[in-house]
Every structure is written in C-alpha cells, then in structure tokens.
Amino acid sequence: MKTLTKIALLILLLAHSAVYASVCETEPFSTPSDNSIETLTSPTANPITLAFDSGARWELCWHVDNASGLVLSNIHYGGPGMPLRKIMESASIAQVIFQYDEDTHASHLISEQGFGGENWVDGAQLCKHGEWVAGTQHRICQQRRELNLLARARHYRSLPRNEITLHAVSKIGLNRFQQVWQLTEDGELNPSLTYSGQVSRFTDNSSFGVKVDDSGLYASNATLLVNWRLDFNIDNSPTNDRVDEFNFIAENPTDLTRKISITEITNESFRKINNTNFRGWRISDQDLSSGDNGESSPTRIGYFLDPQPSGYQFTQNDKRWTDFDIAVTNQKRCEKLASGNQSINQDCGTHLYEFVNDEIIEDPVLWFSLTRHFTPSKEDFPAIRSNRIGFSLIPFDWSKSSPFSDLAIPVNNSAGQSQKVQSQ
Ligand SMILES: [Ca+2]
Ligand SMILES: [Ca+2]
Ligand SMILES: [Ca+2]
C-alpha cells in the first residue's frame, strides 16, 4: 500500500514538473527601448528545483536581466509531505544607489549601468565551493550548506537545517557585487547583496575618507542603498493577498509584555521601520489557512518581512522614496525599477515616488530598501572587505505543525543504535 502511494506521488510530481517547466517561458523582465541598456537578446527563464533529503523543496525560474542581473520568478516552496505552493511571481534587485561621502551626486547602478549585460560575470573561478547551474544563456552558482538545527529533543538525534544558495556576480569598474538568494529547508528566503572590490576613489579631505597609506590621500567612504522588488503571489492568486503592518507595543517602558498591533495597508504607501516597536510586515493570502478549522482561524498562510538589520538612512534631496524603508504598490508590469525605471520602460513612471499614488492595493508588490555606510580599512587595502546587506523573509503559519517533526530519529541508548520513526 505504501509502495503504491509512493508511485502515485512520483507520477504526480513528474506530471507537475512537466507542467512547471513550461511555466518558466515567461516574457523578459525588462523590455528593450531606444535608450535602454544595450540588449542583444531577450532573456529566457530557466527552471530549477532545489531538493533536500527531508523532502522539502523549492521550485523556481531564473534568468539574467540586463538591468537587475539575476531575477527569480515563479517561486514555489513545499515542506516535507506538503504540496508545492507558489510564493512569489518575481523577486529581484530594483536599484542599487552608490554615493561617496564627499559627492552630492549618487550613481543609480541598476538603471545607469546594470548588473546584467557586459557587467555580468560568468567566470569559472567564482564557484569554488558549489556547482554550476547552466541556463540557456548564462550560468549561476549553487551551494549547499548545513545551517543550524531544525529540531532537537531528548533521546532524539538533532535534525540539521540545510540551505541552498544561488549566487550571481556583477562587476562595475573595480567594484564587485554578489547577489545571493538563500533558500532554506524550512521555507525561509533571505536575499542579500555583498559589495567588495578594490579601492578606486581617494580624497584629500580627511572628513570623507580613511588614511590607508603614506600618499597623503584618504580612501573614500561611501554609502550603498539596495532596493529589492518582491511581487508576492501566494498560492497563485495575486488579488487576494494582503499586507499587514505589525507593531509590538509595550504600554510603558517598564513592561515586559507587549501587545501585537496589526494594521492592514489598503492603499499604496511608504512606511518606515520602527525599532522600538519591532515593526515588520506580513503578506498573506486572505483565503488560505493551514489549519483544518480554516474558517474560524484568523491566521492565514503568508510571509513575514523582518527588517531587523535595518538602521541606516539614505537621504537625498531629490529622491524622496529613499527616505523610507518600504513601499507597497499595486502591481503594474512596467514598474520594475525603484528609480530610473524609464530607462527600461519609457511609457511608465520614473521612480517609486511616482508609483505610490494612493491606488487601492489589489495585487501587492513590496519594495524594501536597506542602506549601509562603509569605510575602507588599512588592513584590507587595496581591497575592500566584503560588506553584506541582506534581510529575511520568514514563512508565517505555512503549516499547522512542523512538517519536520516526523523526521526526528530516536536514539536507542541501550543498543547504541537508532531507528527511524515511521510517520504512517
Ligand atoms: Ca493569494
Ligand atoms: Ca500606483
Ligand atoms: Ca503581487
């Protein structure tokens, strides 16, 4: 009976994979226009399955866009014994703003230069600890590693938690940018960008740089803002997704307990982080509950955006969207870049401040920014040490109990042997 069930499951999975592969044939993320970044051929999305021994797996598509570099699309996750469920339509970097402390002008790297095209690095030396994943036009690097523990209990062997990371590198001048997407076994998705390279800018003003040699000049400090565009589409039903802001409020400073305040964001808006209230944002499907008593349960399947690493602010007079940490917009196909959007879509708005115009949100898109200030150091000179900027997207009420609990292995102390727990 068990064998028959396994065969039926295998057939279902194979049928699903066949359907899934064709879903990757999506249209290009950005369309070439007269003043666009040079486009030779349209990118084609490539399917990829990332499977863990536990049965958990991710399925998604990837392609290289001239502006954003690596773009993930049609992202699905399923825990052990759980069906694959769609999470996002697409996820990508929507802008990287780079500014030296002494400059008044900032470079908008994604719209002005792009992470794809000539700046994409397909070099063989970049996947030393992983394996290449070949696409139709480019390849990316995939790495696996054990993180921490999924489950630990007395008399049970600890269950390790694994992750698979996708890596893509772009170079602009002497600056090196590595996009990393960490996809964990238990459904967490952690986007990040690592900046490194070589010092290429010096100043004679000690207020704006660091002394790294005897030249009398200072290696310049700079600020980097990264904005990610996350078009959630939970369970492949985009118009019933909603965004809520969470605040954890202590009524007075000496309180050890905090009340949760949840407010729906119904119209396009900008929001800021609030470290005091541990503010975060959840996107969830209004009709989908993981419990059997879905009708009475107030919780819905979703993802929580934890902005905890945020803490710096990038301020520019003419780019007011950078004053905020997150924007929520109603999905529009032509709104792809947080600024300089007209370089790839001429008939669309230019930047986020134009996209956010109080529309009612039917199909939400999150735009999340993180900013870091960095200073070169004498120890690393002439290199710039790696600066990682990243955050977490955490599954929220995705299942009514841990899908990993049946996988724990009890240890038989007397015989010193172990035996797998049968879940059936
Ligand atoms: Ca939905
Ligand atoms: Ca709008
Ligand atoms: Ca959406």
* Contact yes or no for 138/122 (Cβ under 8 A): yes
Q: How close is the Cα of 367 to the center of ligand 2, in Å?
A: 13
Domain ranges in the chain?
40-418
Whole-number pLDDT of residue 421: 41
Q: Which class does domain 40-418 fall in?
A: mainly beta
* Contact yes or no for 224/371 (Cβ under 8 A): yes
Q: How close is the Cα of 338 to the center of ligand 2, in Å?
A: 13
Q: How close is the Cα of 242 to the center of ligand 3, in Å?
A: 9
% of the chain at pLDDT higher than 70 = 77
Side chain identity at residue 405, one-letter code = S
Check pLDDT > 70 for residue 418.
no
Q: How close is the Cα of 364 to the center of ligand 3, in Å?
A: 4
* Token pair recorded at residue 313: 């602010």
CA-only gyration radius of the chain, Å? 23
Q: How close is the Cα of 268 to the center of ligand 3, in Å?
A: 13
- As a whole number of angstroms, the distance between CA 95 and CA 339 comes to 7
Ligand 2 is an ion; residues with CB less than 5 A from it: 355, 357, 359
Q: How close is the Cα of 238 to the center of ligand 3, in Å?
A: 5
- Size of the chain, expressed as the number of residues it contains: 424
Whole-number pLDDT of residue 164: 95
Give the side-chain half-sphere CA count within 13 A for 407. Answer: 20
- As a whole number of angstroms, the distance between CA 224 and CA 322 comes to 11
Q: How close is the Cα of 313 to the center of ligand 2, in Å?
A: 24
Who's near 250: CB < 8 A, 6+ residues apart? Answer: 257, 258, 259
Residue 24, classed as helix, strand or coil, is coil
Q: How close is the Cα of 48 to the center of ligand 2, in Å?
A: 32
Count other Cβ atoms within 10 Å, centred on residue 230.
25
Q: How close is the Cα of 302 to the center of ligand 1, in Å?
A: 9
Whole-number pLDDT of residue 65: 95
Rounded to 5°, angle at Cα 394 from 389 and 396: 160
Per-residue pLDDT, averaged over 302-310, amounts to 84
* Block residue for tokens 């970044």: 37
Whole-number pLDDT of residue 25: 60
Rounded to 5°, angle at Cα 367 from 137 and 176: 50
- As a whole number of angstroms, the distance between CA 182 and CA 188 comes to 8
Q: Which of 320, 157, 332 is nearest to 231 (CA)?
A: 332
Among the bound ligands, the one closest to the CA of 284: 1
Among the bound ligands, the one closest to the CA of 269: 2
State residue 194 phi and psi, 5-degree precision.
-110, 125
Band of pLDDT at residue 9, cut at 50, 70 and 90: very low
Check pLDDT > 80 for residue 416.
no
Among the bound ligands, the one closest to the CA of 360: 2
Check pLDDT > 60 for residue 18.
no
Question: 53-101, pLDDT tens digit by residue?
Answer: 999 999 999 999 999 999 999 999 999 988 999 999 999 999 999 999 9
Among the bound ligands, the one closest to the CA of 302: 1
Among the bound ligands, the one closest to the CA of 88: 3
Check pLDDT > 90 for residue 15.
no
Higher-confidence residue of 51 and 257: namely: 51
Q: How close is the Cα of 81 to the center of ligand 2, in Å?
A: 39
- As a whole number of angstroms, the distance between CA 229 and CA 326 comes to 10
Q: How close is the Cα of 303 to the center of ligand 1, in Å?
A: 12
Q: How close is the Cα of 234 to the center of ligand 1, in Å?
A: 4
pTM assigned to the model: 0.85
C-alpha distance from residue 146 to each of 132, 182, 304 (Å) = 19, 12, 23
Among the bound ligands, the one closest to the CA of 363: 3
Check pLDDT > 90 for residue 412.
no
Sheet holding 156-157, edge to edge: 156-157, 409-412, 417-418
